[in-house]
Structure 1
Amino acid sequence: MKADRIGKVKHSLELDEKLSSQLEHWKAQKIGGLAIMVVIVLTAFGLFGNGVVSSKKVEKAGITLQYERFLRRKKEMDVRWQLDHGQQLIFRIPIRYLANFKVERIVPDGYETQLADEYVTYTFRADRLTDAIVHFYLTPQQTGSVTGEWMIDTTRFQIKHFIYP
């Protein structure tokens, strides 16, 4: 909008009209409205939680990993692993990664846990794996960016999250 498009009204009142200031306010209002609309659309697609933008799926060597990239602090998430083979599985998770989370539960039960070489190792025996799907339910304890490299047997998976307050 330009100031010359808005006509001044002649009146007998002594008012100090600041038309340029009003035009700036209208422009700021439109920009703010657009910014709010962008945040709403990104939220609908999952930027701040579950959704298309947040969901991540990685497949390597017959192993499928599914997790959420964008999380809320203190809201439980699921790191889901689906495996094609029914042999003994060894998950190695860096302690620095797990320090940002509380492990709520691991499904299926019946695993062995070891702590060595800056990793927490979970070993699942083949006779305990019925459907070859393993869930790690974790709750973020801190905000910010979290990165970790999980190892399943000898295959490495890079997992990255951003945790909102």
Structure 2
Amino acid sequence: MKRTGVERIEHSLELEEKLDQQLKGWMVQKIGRVLIGTIIFLTALGLFGNGLLSNKKIEKNGTSLQYERFLRYEKEMDVQWTIAGQEEIQIRIPLQYLDRFKVEKVIPEGYETATANGYVSYTFKSGKTTETPVHFYLNPQKTGNVTGEWLVNKQRFQLRHFIYP
């Protein structure tokens, strides 16, 4: 006889106890609690948005990029650039990437835009050689995986996102 921690009592009453099914149900509840706890833990770490798992930072030759890997459909996100030592900054974004997003706002204002060779080009004149912050506020318009290679003053930066429904 298998030890389950539940005492089986022999009695004369004609009851359908279905004790084996009850034990299986308890096991399913324990597994469910572990799964829900795991999902809550991963959510707190940023699997579905802001957090350690979602935040990505890339630095190359005085240029810094911060963005989120995991996004929500139609929830605005911020692609943050910090560019050092450049009086003129050119950021080129692939049109294929922008097909998945709506550009809500670009800071600083006073930039020039142009479209050529499958890219939208944003040109900023900072007038200073110290660090210049540039923010692109984008709103995801489609779900799924998105990959795009942005060019900042001819340096390539690969951005990867997963957009949840």
* TM norm structure 2: 0.93
SS of residue matched to 1:74: coil
What are the equivalent positions in structure 2 for 1:82-121 lying under 5 Å apart? 82-121=82-121
Pairing of 1:113-132 with structure 2 (within 5 A): 113-127=113-127, 131-132=131-132
Q: In structure 2, what is the Cα distance between the partners aligned to 1:11 and 1:112?
A: 87
Number of the residue aligned with 1:164: 164
Contact 2:64 / 2:83 at 8 angstroms: preserved in 1?
yes
Supply the AA of the counterpart residue of 1:107.
I
TM-score (norm 1): 0.93
| Identity over aligned pairs, percent | 55
Q: Amino acid of the residue matched to residue 45 of structure 2?
A: F
Give the 5 Å matches for 1:47-62.
47-62=47-62
- Match of 1:127, SS state, is coil
- Indicate the larger mover: 69-78 or 19-28: 19-28
Runs of 4+ in 1 over 4 A off after TM superposition: 2-5, 128-131
1:60 to partner: Cα distance: 0.6
Gap regions ≥5 residues in structure 1: none
In the aligned structure 2, how far is the partner of 1:89 from the partner of 1:6?
71
Q: Does 1:12 align with 2:12?
A: yes
* Corresponding residue of 1:153: 153
> How far apart in 2 are the matches of 1:137 and 1:129?
24
Structure 2 vs 1, CA of residues 41 and 4 (structure 1 numbering), >3 Å: closer, same or farther?
closer
**Cα RMSD (Å) of the superposition?**
1.7
CA distance in 2, matches of 1:90, 1:42: 37
User: Offset at 1:163?
Assistant: 0.6
Q: Secondary structure at 2:162's aligned position in 1?
A: strand
Please tell me whether the aligned partners of residues 84 and 129 of structure 2 are also in contact (alpha carbons under 8 angstroms): no
Counterpart contact for 1:3–1:23, Cα < 8 Å: no
Q: Distance in 2 between matches of 1:76 and 1:159?
A: 16
Q: How far apart, CA to CA, are the structure 1 residues paired with 2:103 and 2:130?
A: 22
Partner amino acid, structure 1, of 2:152: I
Question: Deviations 1:71-130 (Å, cap 9, x if unpaired)?
Answer: 111111000000111321111100010011010010001111111111111111233898
CA distance, structure 2, for counterparts of residue 128 and residue 119 of structure 1? 26
Check the 8 A contact 2:84/2:131 in 1, yes or no: no
